[in-house]
Structure 1
Amino acid sequence: MVLVQDLLHPTAASEARKHKLKTLVQSPRSYFLDVKCPGCLNITTVFSHAQTAVTCESCSTVLCTPTGGKAKLSEGTSFRRK
């Protein structure tokens, strides 16, 4: 009996399509971001799935707004994944 799919060595594409708990090695899909404010260029650390609106500490500009899953970054903000 020959298996069509190798279960011990799955491809990266098939692992990306699976649920986070059904992958070979479980890992979270959330992360932290360094978001730069477009007005004052101040850097703020934001969680990718933030549930509240995050504002800049110095100029009170809204950096991201919550959605059902990942937080949506405001226009003009630049970010870097940590």
Structure 2
Amino acid sequence: MLELYRTALRIRREHPALGDGTLTWLDNASDGVLAFQRDPGFICVVNLSTEPYPLPDHTSVLLTSEPVEDNRLAPDQAAWLAL
């Protein structure tokens, strides 16, 4: 858990979309999934449902709470994605 927080803080300092900017909720997320986009080029997805959720289009995975398998976010998992 400590390493997850350290990595998140490092990414937050390095990625321009994690400072000030526009936040847009992604309406196409399934029930039980929270997803938003920050410009330029960042998406956060949190799967609170009981089913795996396919990740939206992205160029790379910046951070996940658990490893992602088959490009699907497991229940109770979160991911930060770069566009």
**Coarse TM-score class (shorter-chain normalised):** under 0.3
Relative to total residues, which structure has the larger strand share, 1 or 2?
2
Bigger-Rg structure (1/2):
1
Relative to total residues, which structure has the larger helix share, 1 or 2?
2
- TM-score (normalizing by structure 2): 0.26
- TM-score (normalizing by structure 1): 0.26
